[in-house]
């Protein structure tokens, strides 16, 4: 009878020990999954802050400059272009590096025609053409390209 009681005690101890091991192992796995998820979230947050937000701000400024060039011509006012062009000149390289770092080929294809819109709109105003696009159409095309770039950036956010 005593041997049987010891066997029950040992059996219970083994079951409790195995249960604790399984519970501890499960807790470790769950914690590691949580840590990986947190690391991914932090990496995406950094990507957004360091790469995407500056591109969005730059796109907004370029679209402002394109609109400024066109509408100041229509209103017969002097555009505030020197300050906008300074921003463009100072920031273009950094933004293009960020776009390259994102590794999005489609975004890179949209970028060059978009940034060319400021001088193109200025040229169309200075030298209107009878054929081809006029300044307004070039401005609208620039806004469309800017919208495509922004949509591409927002679509790249994790869901």
DSSP 156: T
130-155 pLDDT, tens digit per residue, is 677 888 888 899 999 999 999 999 88
Measured distance CA(119)–CA(66) in Å, rounded: 9
Q: Tell me the two tokens of residue 16.
A: 């409790």
74-93 pLDDT, tens digit per residue, is 888 877 767 777 777 788 88
Q: If pLDDT is split at 50, 70 and 90, which confidence band does 2 have?
A: low
What is the arithmetic mean of pLDDT over 20-48? 86
Separation in Å, CA 10 to CA 5, 18, 21, 24, 77: 9, 12, 16, 21, 93
């Amino acid at each position: 009878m005593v041997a049987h009681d010891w066997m029950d005690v040992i059996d219970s101890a083994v079951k409790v020990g195995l249960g604790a091991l399984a519970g501890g192992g499960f807790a470790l796995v769950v914690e590691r999954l949580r840590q990986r998820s947190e690391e991914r979230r932090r990496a995406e947050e950094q990507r957004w802050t360091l790469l995407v937000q500056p591109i969005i701000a730059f796109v907004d400024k370029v679209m402002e400059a394109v609109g400024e060039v066109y509408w100041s011509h229509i209103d017969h006012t002097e555009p505030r272009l020197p300050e906008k062009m300074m921003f463009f000149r100072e920031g273009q390289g950094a933004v293009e590096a960020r776009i390259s770092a994102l590794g999005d080929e489609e975004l890179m294809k949209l970028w060059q025609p978009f940034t060319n819109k400021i001088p193109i709109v200025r040229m169309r105003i200075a030298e209107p053409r009878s054929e081809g696009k006029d300044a307004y159409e070039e401005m609208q095309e620039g806004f469309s390209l800017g919208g495509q770039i922004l949509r591409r950036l927002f679509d790249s956010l994790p869901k």
